[in-house]
Amino acid sequence: MEKIRVGVVGTGFIGGKHIEAIARIPQAELVAITDSSAARIQEVAERYQVHGYQSVEEMLDRESLDVVHNCTPTSMHYFVNEKVLLAHKHLYCEKPLALDAAEGEKLQQLAERQGVANGVNLNYRMNALVQHMHDLVQDGQAGRSFLVTGSYIQDWMMMQDDYDWRLDPKVGGVSRAIADIGSHLFDTCQFVLGKRITAVNAHLTVVHPIRCQYEKAQTFSKEKGRLLREAPVVNEDAASIMARFEDGTEGLFQVSQISAGHKNDMRLRFDFERCSYEWRQEESNLLYIGHRDEPNQILQREAAALSPRARRFTGLPAGHPEGWNDALYQAVNAFYQSILTDTWRQETPYATIAEGAWIMKIIDACLASGKQGRWIDVATGGAV
Ligand SMILES: NC(=O)c1ccc[n+]([C@@H]2O[C@H](COP(=O)([O-])OP(=O)(O)OC[C@H]3O[C@@H](n4cnc5c(N)ncnc54)[C@H](O)[C@@H]3O)[C@@H](O)[C@H]2O)c1
């Protein structure tokens, strides 16, 4: 393979960021895009001088691609992923993997049968300091794990007239805050601990049971246009989740899209026998290490401060902050490097479809728990 030939499906907010990440990888080349909007196809194809197609089928038919990125709204994930896998292309899909656990399981089986590299863009784990934390924990330096506490809170859905496709359960899914941002919390914490979440007890909240839907409302946009309708809201604005990991560690998570002043505020704290680690997405170059009997530490990201394995995931010297875009680039790059070196069947630093499918089970378990008011076993979907 001379250069990895890439196609992108869906060129909205995150699709644009994937395209920028691809441009940073010399061994890859964006060759085609598709979107449901004709105007967007034309605009993006012209801007990047690539072929624009009307559908994923047409793109797969006409182009000789190695990798396809699926950056469509959640309801389209299964449809597009299935087409890409059946065409034997390597697949990099946005989170959440699918609409529910049943779709996730089918995709996992299909990916295994087709024998192609597969990744889900659970990008927060690709921050260098998160990879470093993972290595510290896996090396046993922190000792036994006690507690995990995580919150991911935003305010872009705070007002009654904030609207987006995620509010429509047919497009965004029956879960909103948990699927949209809880999926990141679950993945990053599972990755650091190296343990799965096996049971949850969740309470879900809707603060605006009716929202105003506007013509031009879209992801993170303040543009509204004319009022289309008053829409009943069925998926959650926020949730509080107790969780149990497979080694018995207790977890406590909060997700919210209605918390004023918090933009993309993801915070994680891991309490261990010998120390604690705390990391915040909006200050992603710092890792707080807490001690009981010696001074606390703040570790600033730089290659020399990281485990030899985690050094691969940083590019800039200390004091030159790396951020959200860099973690996304690291995720896409790690995926491509695993294709180029044919190592994608081994343990990967990025999340695979199998991991994305487990997260779908956690989301479904949270929904069941919210309805039934009790602990739910993630594997079976039944009461614990
Ligand atoms: N990993 C992250 O941090 C992150 C951040 C934002 C969004 N996402 C995920 O990315 C996905 C897209 O979200 P977004 O915020 O970019 O949404 P968006 O609305 O900004 O973009 C979606 C794009 O897909 C296009 N589209 C819709 N239906 C399509 C179809 N059938 N075929 C091709 N294109 C289609 C739309 O025209 C639009 O251009 C979602 O699954 C979301 O959960 C992930």
Confidence class for position 154, pLDDT limits 50, 70, 90: very high
* Amino acid 69: pLDDT: 99
For the chain, what percent of residues have pLDDT higher than 70?
99
Do 148 and 269 share a structural domain?
yes
* Amino acid 242: pLDDT: 98
Residue 95 CA: distances (Å) to CA of 156, 239, 252, 353? 19, 18, 21, 10
Confidence class for position 204, pLDDT limits 50, 70, 90: very high
Reported as a single tens digit per residue, the pLDDT across 63-79 is 999 999 999 999 999 99
Give 209: exposed, middle or buried? Use CB within 10 Å, 0-12, 13-18, 19+: exposed
pLDDT of 267 above 90: yes
Do 133 and 117 share a structural domain?
no
Residue 101 in domain = yes
Do 129 and 92 share a structural domain?
no
Separation of 282 CA from ligand 1 center, angstroms?
Answer: 22
Taking CA atoms only, the protein residue closest to ligand 1 atom 40 is 73
Do 213 and 76 share a structural domain?
no
Q: Are 251 and 196 in contact (CB under 8 A)?
A: no
* Amino acid 216: pLDDT: 77
Do 190 and 80 share a structural domain?
no
Do 152 and 102 share a structural domain?
no
Separation of 75 CA from ligand 1 center, angstroms?
Answer: 10
Residue 381 in domain = no
* Amino acid 224: pLDDT: 80
Q: Which of 208-217, 249-258, 353-362 bottoms out in mean pLDDT, i.e. has the lowest?
A: 208-217
CB atoms within 10 A of CB 84: 29
Q: End of a domain among 90, 123, 156?
A: 123
Reported as a single tens digit per residue, the pLDDT across 322-360 is 999 999 999 999 999 999 999 999 999 999 999 999 999
Do 237 and 141 share a structural domain?
yes
* Amino acid 314: pLDDT: 98
Separation of 143 CA from ligand 1 center, angstroms?
Answer: 40
**Whole-structure pTM value:** 0.97
The total of structural domains in the chain comes to 2
Measured CA to CA, the distance from residue 186 to residue 193 in angstroms comes to 11
Mutate to test the pocket of ligand 1, among 36, 120, 360 (most ligand atoms within 8 A of CB): 36
Mutate to test the pocket of ligand 1, among 20, 37, 59, 71 (most ligand atoms within 8 A of CB): 71
Confidence class for position 214, pLDDT limits 50, 70, 90: confident
Verify whether ligand 1 is closer than 6 Å to residue 121 (CB atom). yes
Do 232 and 104 share a structural domain?
no
Q: What is the CATH number of the domain that holds 292?
A: 3.30.360.10
* Amino acid 71: pLDDT: 98
Do 17 and 63 share a structural domain?
yes
Q: End of a domain among 123, 148, 165?
A: 123
Sheet containing 67-70: which strands, arranged edge to edge? Answer: 51-53, 28-34, 4-9, 67-70, 90-93, 118-120
* Amino acid 259: pLDDT: 98
Separation of 244 CA from ligand 1 center, angstroms?
Answer: 31
* Structure tokens given for 31: 């060759």
Verify whether ligand 1 is closer than 6 Å to residue 73 (CB atom). yes
Residue 325 in domain = no
Do 293 and 157 share a structural domain?
yes
Cis peptide before 96 (omega within 30 of 0): yes
- Mean pLDDT in residue range 274-278: 98
Reported as a single tens digit per residue, the pLDDT across 299-329 is 999 999 999 999 999 999 999 999 999 999 9
pLDDT of 218 above 80: no
* Amino acid 373: pLDDT: 98
Verify whether ligand 1 is closer than 6 Å to residue 123 (CB atom). yes
Ligand 1 atom closest to Cα of residue 74: 41
pLDDT of 296 above 80: yes
Q: Which residues span the domain enclosing 37?
A: 4-123
Q: Which of 47-51, 106-110, 161-165, 351-355 bottoms out in mean pLDDT, i.e. has the lowest?
A: 161-165
Separation of 166 CA from ligand 1 center, angstroms?
Answer: 10
* Amino acid 369: pLDDT: 98
The amino acid at 103: E
Verify whether ligand 1 is closer than 6 Å to residue 125 (CB atom). no
Taking CA atoms only, the protein residue closest to ligand 1 atom 3 is 123
Reported as a single tens digit per residue, the pLDDT across 98-126 is 999 999 999 999 999 999 999 999 999 99
Residue 376 in domain = no
Reported as a single tens digit per residue, the pLDDT across 117-151 is 999 999 999 999 999 999 999 999 999 999 999 99
* Amino acid 19: pLDDT: 98
Do 131 and 54 share a structural domain?
no
* Amino acid 217: pLDDT: 74
Separation of 87 CA from ligand 1 center, angstroms?
Answer: 22
- Mean pLDDT in residue range 172-177: 97
Do 50 and 23 share a structural domain?
yes
Mutate to test the pocket of ligand 1, among 8, 11, 14, 127 (most ligand atoms within 8 A of CB): 14
Separation of 9 CA from ligand 1 center, angstroms?
Answer: 9
Separation of 122 CA from ligand 1 center, angstroms?
Answer: 14
Ligand 1 atom closest to Cα of residue 122: 1
* Amino acid 246: pLDDT: 98
Separation of 78 CA from ligand 1 center, angstroms?
Answer: 13
- Mean pLDDT in residue range 35-54: 98
Confidence class for position 40, pLDDT limits 50, 70, 90: very high
